[in-house]
Structure 1
């Protein structure tokens, strides 16, 4: 019985530790919807809620926020991925250098599993 309880406790600890991974230090949400993001020639508002496609062209999530450095320079997205109908999803950080514009969508050269393993974004 003690072994079972210990295994459950260790499993729960591992889950909590994995779930609490933090985003890279120094990133902040870009608040100005009209700010241009030169890498994509679009504004923050235009990028938010844009679909994100995996390497196979399947929709795996959407942009939640545009993130940047303390001086306000946009450098990454927080993206909502995984889950079903908003339940069980995860917000991850995707750097701009991992993303290309593909029509009205953004695309990464990764699988959904690889994207879900990226650093977490805690709003």
Structure 2
């Protein structure tokens, strides 16, 4: 009987380990499925834009990209405080995106992410990017919406060039 009482804690420990392993596997599967669905959604949106009809394109506003960007950021955006806030569009957390390099369409490094901005509910919507300057002098802080960014080998990529980004209004936050 004494030997059985010694085995019981081990069995309980093994049960806890199995439960923890199952939880970890379930979370990993959930993250992978969310990432796959986000990538599929991005691909279908890009395909829809590429295959759009002439009518759909004529309904699009004819504003320059900078003005559309300003109109999109006219909503109230506040800094995201929680570093564990997920950013589904990039399959990252807010803390992981801070200090990431931003690469332009010409494969040149444009700047780095200074902070993540979210709506009033704390859902990330945009990032503040420091562009231009040298060694921190003369930098300009601009806001770039998350739908303009994609993750590329540990860096953020945008379809805009450094010149297009420098024409955006400076962020005063």
Q: Is the 8 A contact 1:68 1:75 kept in 2?
A: yes
Q: Which of these residues, 66, 80, 85, is aligned with residue 116 of structure 2? A: 66
Matched, 1:78 2:128: yes
More helix by share: 2
Show the counterpart of 2:156.
Answer: 106
Shift of 1:118: 1.9
Q: State the distance in 1 between where 2:169 and 2:115 align.
A: 15
Gaps of 5+ in 2: 1-69
For residues 119 and 68 of structure 1, do their structure 2 counterparts lie closer, same or farther at Cα, with a shift above 3 Å needed? farther
Show the counterpart of 1:116.
Answer: 166
Matched, 1:44 2:66: no
Gaps of 5+ in 1: 1-20
TM-score under structure 1 length normalisation: 0.78
Aligned residue pairs, count: 102
The answer to which structure, 1 or 2, has the higher relative contact order (CA under 8 A, 6+ apart) is 1
Q: Deviation digits for residues 52-92 of structure 1, max 9, x if unmatched? A: 00101111100011111111111110000011111000000
Q: Is the 8 A contact 2:89 2:147 kept in 1?
A: no
Q: State the distance in 2 between where 1:121 and 1:29 align.
A: 12
Shift of 1:104: 0.5
Q: Over aligned residues, Cα RMSD in angstroms? A: 1.5
TM-score under structure 2 length normalisation: 0.56
